[in-house]
A and B are shown apart, each in its own frame.
Chain A
Amino acid sequence: DGGITQSPKYLFRKEGQNVTLSCEQNLNHDAMYWYRQDPGQGLRLIYYSQIVNDFQKGDIAEGYSVSREKKESFPLTVTSAQKNPTAFYLCASSPRYNSPLHFGNGTRLTVT
């Protein structure tokens, strides 16, 4: 079955530690995205990538970094510079322009 896999589902970290969230897709989609969702708020775009080895900052990129070395993979690193990292992180992909987004099942990150 094709889909997007995010791991882990729950992640706990101490303040000051960097953490990397995994996102893998086998849908052969070109574009991949990272969103953050906080309670009572909409999804906010962190980074997106249209093709391998290329990515662009979204609306809230500060404190985050990404890489896109393979079409299937788009990992997100939450650095210690991110002031409020506790959130629900969603990875998504899209096959082409004007197509809807497909989401992974998310990673819930808690930083204490």
Chain B
Amino acid sequence: RKEVEQDPGPFNVPEGATVAFNCTYSNSASQSFFWYRQDCRKEPKLLMSVYSSGNEDGRFTAQLNRASQYISLLIRDSKLSDSATYLCVVRPGTYKYIFGTGTRLKVLA
């Protein structure tokens, strides 16, 4: 089993739609969780950290479910500019960061 797993997609959604991605992790001792956005042929950029109580940043909401060992990202009112690959990142209690392979999102006009 991979340490961090994501559905590769692509998720094709119309503008204005709500879309959600999940990411599962295998190490129950994992302590830090993040969502990054990566545009084609660019470096990943931090979208948001994920906190135990869940957190929101504008149209983006992140949740952590420790019991089931997954994190989620919800995007409301999708924009064309949200089209990108979304990377789930887990830090299992060491200095290492483990990346998922990413979920591709395409928002269609």
Query: Could you tell me which A residues sit within 8 Å of B by CB distance?
Result: 31, 33, 35, 40-45, 48, 50, 56, 58, 88, 90, 97-98, 100-106, 108
Contact = CB atoms under 8 A, between A and B. Distances in A.
Nearest to A44: B99
Given A40-B101, A42-B100, A98-B32, A90 B44 contact: yes
Interface stretch (B57-65, B70-78, B90-98): B90-98
The contact size tier of chain B is 20 to 34
Contacts of B97: 33, 45, 101
A38 B45 CA distance: 17
Contacts of A44: 99
The list of the 4 closest CB pairs from A to B, nearest first, reads A42-B101, A103-B43, A43-B99, A42-B99
Contacts of A40: 8, 101
Contacts of B89: 100-101
Contacts of B87: 42-43
Nearest to A33: B97
Contacts of B100: 42
Nearest to A102: B46
Interface string B10-47: 00000000000000000000011010000001111110
